[in-house]
Amino acid sequence: MATQEEVFDKIRTALIDALGVDEDEVTPEATLVGDLGAESIDFLDIVFRLEKAFKINIPRGELFPEDILTNSEYIQDGKMTEPGVAELRKRMPFADLTDFAENPVVQDFGNLLTVADMCRFVESKLQNAG
Amino acid sequence: MRWYWIDRFVEFESGRRAKAIKVISLAEEHLHDHFPGYPVMPNTLIIEGVAQTGGLLVCEYGQFAEKVVLAKISKATFFGDAVAGDVLIYTTDVDYIKKDGAMVTGTVHREGELFAEMELVFAHLSTGHEDRTLFEPVTFLKMMRMLGAFEIGHAADGGPLIEPAHLLES
């Protein structure tokens, strides 16, 4: 079982390679979109690198639940509805949605995910696998 | 002009590696348009050639059933200019492949020396694109035949690369 430090190191390497960022930019607090400049297609690249590095399987939509974010049932006037936010919490237990839930503008969601969230996500995958 | 940026496969190992050659000629118009008076092959078209080499490798792995698109050039580094008379060898190695797409490392060699290296990400278009056709199956068959893939290729089990039955039927 990989330690937290090992998980972070591998994630940092994946992000450096996928996003062309410098090592010191990849901090636990850094957001993938806002701070590290990830675009939507980068998530596919990142997922491939994580799967390869950790020998895990990440089904589409698990790390970034685009299906919820584009589901009209969960969106009203550009904001997630309460059931939508509840669904996000269920699907993303690794992410801190507190701030987002206060003003759940869908457009802002992309800037929510941090490196620390990604570490928690991988750790939970490794625990379930182990 | 046809959008072929490789001339022939010289190696094709299903799901693993493909190697193709590109011979650059002054007869190619793009050489003259890039920097007028200084005919060089644009690096973007070299990347396209490497992507075609790797893309067909990824397509073949999925028996040409997936809509494979070049999603991202993660990195690309060039060490010189490619000019008329050059023979470029494009080598693509599959780093990772799954149902969503693939990661491929590409290198370009000229006269035995490393000329360029790159990392490419291919995606399979799925959700929302079920009814779209990027290429007719017969196009793939013609392309693979013309580039000599079935003449020199090997399947994953080491046997000869076989033309997929569903492409032959089409």
ipTM over 0.85: no
Distance from CA of A102 to the nearest CA of B (A): 31
**Contact between residue A123 and residue A7 where contact means Cβ atoms under 8 Å apart:** yes
Q: Report residue B148's pLDDT band, with 50, 70 and 90 as the boundaries.
A: very high
Condensed to tens digits (0 to 9), the pLDDT of residues B7-30 reads: 999 999 999 999 999 999 999 988
pTM of the model: 0.88
Determine which one of B34, B109, B124, B129 is catalytic.
B34
Across the A:B interface, residue pairs with CB atoms under 8 Å apart total 37
Nearest to B101 among A17, A20, A44 (CB): A44
Contacts of residue B123 in chain A, CB cutoff 8 Å?
A: 41, 44
Condensed to tens digits (0 to 9), the pLDDT of residues A110-122 reads: 788 999 999 999 9
- B8-169 domain in CATH 3.40.50.2000? no
Contacts of residue B121 in chain A, CB cutoff 8 Å?
A: 41, 44-45, 48
- Residue A95: what are its φ and ψ, rounded to 5°? -105, 145
What homologous superfamily is domain A1-57+110-130 in, according to CATH? Answer: ACP-like (1.10.1200.10)
Give the tokens for residue B60: 């073949």
Distance from CA of B11 to the nearest CA of A (A): 25
Condensed to tens digits (0 to 9), the pLDDT of residues B40-70 reads: 999 999 999 999 999 999 999 998 888 899 9
Nearest to A60 among B100, B102, B121 (CB): B100
Residues 6+ apart with CB under 8 A from A3: none
Domain with CATH 1.10.1200.10 in chain A: 1-57+110-130
Give the tokens for residue A10: 């591998």
- For residue B34, indicate whether it is catalytic: yes
